[in-house]
């Protein structure tokens, strides 16, 4: 017996989702091309066309702030600041919280030397987004560069009244220090420590007083800091480490004033109050040692630590944490021995195994530290080059594995030395000995910056040979050629990657590549080629319902060859009206053909569920673009649900089956749609 329950609806497919997917594919703007303009008329025509393109795109996606900025930049390049302002203001009406938009607007006014306009904009910006530090900094830099000191001070005061983060307060302090206004700095710090009572704030204030104040002011600052610690003790704002840091700083400053009794008393009082703080006890011990006989005690302690480290390293040469601490100690206390110690570390710490283990990574970082010390501290490029050569020739066993970081660091060092040919040889050698993806990418990045695109192509070819199964490499190669405007090369790359005989890419990867290929052809306005690619897309997607629907919607949303020729004719006739693509009856017919083809496909496969999904999608399409007659015809094609029974392992089971009207009427002669519409029209005329 037929069921009266409605047919189930697939929750994963909707017309809104279909249209959104199609819209996203055409959302990306095409790259600009160079246009030679010979006279004023051509310039105006170019400007009109570009403005039409921008306006048309923004009508479809007004939330694309990058497009607003590009539009405004175009008007700036045309020396039309009035139009540029209008565009910026329209964009701010859309989204006034987009910070880059404010920055570009302000920078445009500044570059055009409209200072008052820029100042008004900055006032609006900080009023609209008062919690964005970047806008405040922008305003402050502009006013200070104009030497408007009082305005800068008032801006800082206004900003700090909002209790911003520590960076704002530090900037205010730095500004007043540059103005040598010590009194204002003290006033700022007095408010600063109330808003951010961290240890670092108090210590920075104390450092300021030590440098620019006197002993009385410095002592007051330290005393206020300790009083704050005591008062806020119950809130547990400061840790034991921070408390010890303040006390140690205070005590050592008193020692510099030769107030040794004050320092000792300070330590004793602090230990009485925070008796569990072991750091304070260690600080007192260090203080007593220091001021008993400073130089001898420090040397003895450092030497003892050095001997302890060397003993530990003699037992375990692969304890890289100890090597790191040992080098820290040598740098701090025995700087004249540092090169010898670096050599000892890289000679004794080399792992024995020939595999890329955790030990090897830690060991290579010792080399990196050695290289950084030679470059930044010794500034000896010859020695640095020698270390790199030893590392890549003798240390790294590149027959088994390599470290791409080393090869890239070496190439960048050579670039800094203006030795581009050798940098290329190093990267090429790395690729030849033990290729890594990072090495290829670094080499490509170098050649792109040098604009040696023929070299880039060769490297990409090697990269693909090395890892042909990486879909991203194919995409990046195609995008490079697309950016260079070589469409035939782009098609060649996609064709090779999507060759049906190739086995290096998975089906899922080929589907993604084919989607990008279709997008490329669409952006290139090669719609017929894109439609042919959709046939391959159907096959790769195993003729899924979604792929059929995507194909149909593509047919509906892209112009046919005839429409393209008509649009080209209108453009050639210099029609002043805006020319936009509209879905015509021809598009609808093409879309319906695809839907019908899908219905027949699933009918031949006897896949009733998929066939129903296609009809539902067709129904959604007709509701959006068809007439009432079209909608009624589709609804009549929906199946009826009947309950049937079948034997499954000797058990009778009930299931739902679909009966399609099309299947019932297969044997009946079907009038064409045109005749059906004509008959209906005649009936309406007789009424």
Q: What is the CATH number of the domain that holds 225?
A: 1.25.40
Contact 646, 652 (CB under 8 A): yes
Residue 672 confidence (pLDDT): 56
pLDDT at 10 over 60: no
d(C-alpha 202, C-alpha 193), whole Å: 7
Per-residue pLDDT at 418 = 92
Q: Which residue shows structure tokens 């099309």? A: 662
Least confident range from 136-140, 237-241, 460-464: namely 237-241
How many domains in the chain? 2
Domain's final residue, options 227, 260, 292: 292
Find the Cα–Cα–Cα–Cα dihedral 72, 75, 76, 79, rounded to 10°. -160
Asked if pLDDT for residue 279 goes beyond 90, the answer is: no
Which of 90, 122, 89 is closest to 114 using CA atoms? 122
pLDDT digits (tens, 9 = 90+) for 430-444: 888 888 889 999 999
Q: Which residues lie across from 653 on neighbouring strands? A: 646
CB-CB neighbours of 163 under 10 Å: 12
What is the full DSSP assignment across 389-429?
Answer: HHIIIIIS-TTT---HHHHHHHHHHHHHTT-HHHHHHHHHH
CB 173 within 8 A of CB 192: yes
Answer whether residue 316 shows pLDDT above 50: yes
Whether residue 611 lies inside any domain: the answer is yes
Cβ pair 103, 90 in contact under 8 A: no
Task: Please determine, for residue 296, whether its predicted confidence score (pLDDT) is greater than 50.
Answer: no
Residue 369 has pLDDT above 90, yes or no: yes
Domain range for 656 is 550-686
Q: What's the confidence (pLDDT) of residue 633?
A: 86
Q: Tell me how far apart the alpha carbons of residues 155 and 172 are, in angstroms, rounded to a whole number.
A: 10
Asked if residue 635 is part of any domain, the answer here is yes
Average pLDDT for residues 289-317, to the nearest whole number?
Answer: 68
- Domain boundary pick from 292, 322, 348: 292
Given 258, 292, 326, the domain boundary residue is 292
Residue 624 inside a domain? The answer is: yes
Over range 144-163, report the average pLDDT: 89
pLDDT band (50, 70, 90) for residue 409: very high
pLDDT in tens, 42-78: 878 887 888 888 888 888 888 888 888 898 888 888 8
- For residues 178 and 199, give the distance between their C-alpha atoms in angstroms, rounded to a whole number: 24
Kindly indicate the confidence band of residue 9, based on its pLDDT and cuts at 50, 70 and 90: very low
pLDDT surpassing 70 at residue 291: no
- The whole-angstrom distance between residue 343's C-alpha and the CA centroid of its chain comes to 40
Which of the four pLDDT bands, split at 50, 70 and 90, describes residue 384?
A: very high
Q: Is the pTM value of this prediction over 0.75?
A: no
The predicted structure's pLDDT at residue 339: 92
Q: What is the mean pLDDT of residues 614-626?
A: 86
More confident position, 311 or 579: 311
Q: Within the chain, how many helices (H) and strands (E) appear?
A: 35, 2
For residue 222, tell me if it sits in a domain: yes
Give the Å distances, CA to CA, from 541 to 139, 475, 522, 532, 600. Answer: 55, 19, 20, 15, 18
User: Is 143 inside any structural domain?
Assistant: no
pLDDT mean across residues, the chain = 82
Q: Can you state the angle between helices 453-466 and 437-449, rounded to 10 degrees?
A: 170
Which pLDDT band, with edges at 50, 70 and 90, does 14 fall under? low
Q: What is the pLDDT of residue 3?
A: 39
Distance CA 410, CA 685 (A): 87
- HSE, side-chain direction, 13 A CA sphere, residue 117: 17
What confidence category does residue 419 fall into, taking pLDDT thresholds of 50, 70 and 90? Answer: very high
In a domain, 454, yes or no: no
Residue scoring higher pLDDT (184 or 584) = 184
Whether 214 maps to a domain, the answer reads yes
Residue 282 lies in a domain: yes
Q: Is 550:541 a contact under the CB 8 Å cutoff? A: no
Between 354 and 610, residue with greater pLDDT:
610
């Amino acid at each position: 017996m037929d069921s009266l329950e409605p047919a189930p609806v697939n929750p994963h497919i909707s017309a809104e989702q279909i249209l959104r997917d199609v819209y996203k594919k055409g959302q990306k703007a095409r790259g600009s091309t160079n246009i030679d303009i010979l006279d004023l008329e051509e310039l105006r025509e170019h400007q009109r066309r570009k403005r039409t393109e921008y306006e048309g795109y923004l009508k479809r996606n007004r939330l694309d702030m990058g497009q607003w900025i590009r539009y405004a930049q175009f008007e700036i390049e045309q020396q039309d600041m009035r139009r540029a302002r209008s565009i910026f203001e329209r964009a701010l009406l859309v989204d006034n919280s987009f910070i880059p938009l404010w920055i570009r607007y302000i920078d445009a006014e500044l570059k055009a030397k409209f200072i008052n306009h820029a100042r008004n904009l900055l006032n609006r910006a900080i009023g609209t987004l008062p919690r964005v530090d970047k806008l405040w900094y922008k305003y402050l830099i502009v006013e200070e560069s104009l030497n408007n000191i009082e305005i800068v001070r008032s801006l800082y005061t206004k900003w700090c009244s909002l209790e911003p983060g520590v960076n704002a307060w530090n900037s205010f302090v730095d500004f007043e220090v540059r103005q040598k206004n010590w009194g204002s700095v003290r006033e700022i710090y007095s408010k600063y420590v109330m808003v951010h009572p961290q240890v670092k704030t108090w210590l920075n204030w104390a450092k300021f007083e030590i440098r620019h104040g006197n002993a009385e002011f410095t002592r007051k600052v330290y005393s206020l800091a300790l009083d704050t610690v005591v008062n806020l003790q119950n809130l547990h704002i400061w840790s034991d480490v921070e408390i010890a840091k303040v006390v140690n700083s205070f005590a050592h400053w008193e020692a510099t004033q030769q107030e040794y009794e004050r320092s000792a008393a300070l330590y004793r009082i602090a230990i009485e109050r925070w008796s569990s703080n072991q750091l304070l006890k260690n600080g007192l011990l260090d203080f007593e040692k220091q001021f008993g006989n400073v130089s001898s005690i420090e040397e003895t302690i450092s030497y003892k630590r050095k001997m302890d480290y060397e003993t530990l390293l003699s037992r375990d040469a692969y304890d890289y944490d100890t090597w790191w601490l040992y080098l820290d100690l040598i740098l701090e206390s025995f700087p004249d021995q540092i090169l010898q110690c670096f050599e000892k570390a890289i000679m004794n710490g080399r792992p024995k195994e020939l595999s890329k283990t955790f030990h090897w990574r830690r060991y290579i970082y010792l080399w990196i530290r050695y290289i950084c010390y030679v470059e930044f501290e010794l500034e000896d490029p010859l020695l640095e080059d020698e270390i790199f050569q030893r590392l890549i020739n003798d240390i790294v066993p590149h027959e088994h594995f390599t470290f791409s970081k080393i090869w890239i660091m070496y190439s960048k060092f050579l670039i800094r030395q203006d030795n581009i040919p050798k940098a290329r040889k190093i990267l090429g050698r790395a690729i030849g000995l033990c290729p890594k993806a990072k090495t290829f990418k670094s080499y490509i990045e170098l050649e792109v910056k040098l604009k040696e695109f023929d070299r880039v192509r060769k490297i990409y070819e090697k990269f693909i040979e090395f890892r042909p199964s990486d879909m991203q490499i194919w995409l990046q190669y195609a995008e490079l050629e697309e950016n260079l405007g070589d469409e035939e090369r782009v098609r060649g790359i996609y064709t090779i990657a999507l060759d049906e005989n190739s086995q290096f890419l998975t089906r899922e990867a080929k589907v993604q590549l084919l989607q990008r290929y279709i997008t490329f052809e669409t952006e290139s306005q090669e719609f017929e080629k894109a439609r042919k690619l959709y046939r391959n897309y159907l096959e790769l997607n195993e003729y899924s319902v979604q792929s059929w629907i995507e194909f149909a919607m593509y047919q509906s949303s892209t112009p046919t060859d005839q429409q393209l020729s008509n649009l080209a004719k209108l453009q050639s006739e210099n029609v002043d009206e805006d020319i936009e693509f509209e879905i015509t009856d021809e598009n609808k017919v093409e879309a319906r053909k695809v839907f019908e083809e899908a219905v027949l496909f699933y009918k031949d496969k006897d896949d009733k569920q998929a066939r129903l999904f296609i009809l539902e999608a067709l129904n959604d399409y007709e509701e959006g673009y068809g007439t009432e007659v079209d909608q009624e015809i589709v609804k009549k094609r929906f199946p009826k649900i009947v309950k049937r029974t079948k034997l499954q392992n000797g058990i009778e089971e009930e299931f739902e089956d679909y009966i399609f009207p099309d299947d019932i009427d297969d044997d009946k002669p079907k009038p064409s749609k045109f005749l059906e519409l004509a008959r209906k029209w005649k009936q309406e005329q007789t009424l």
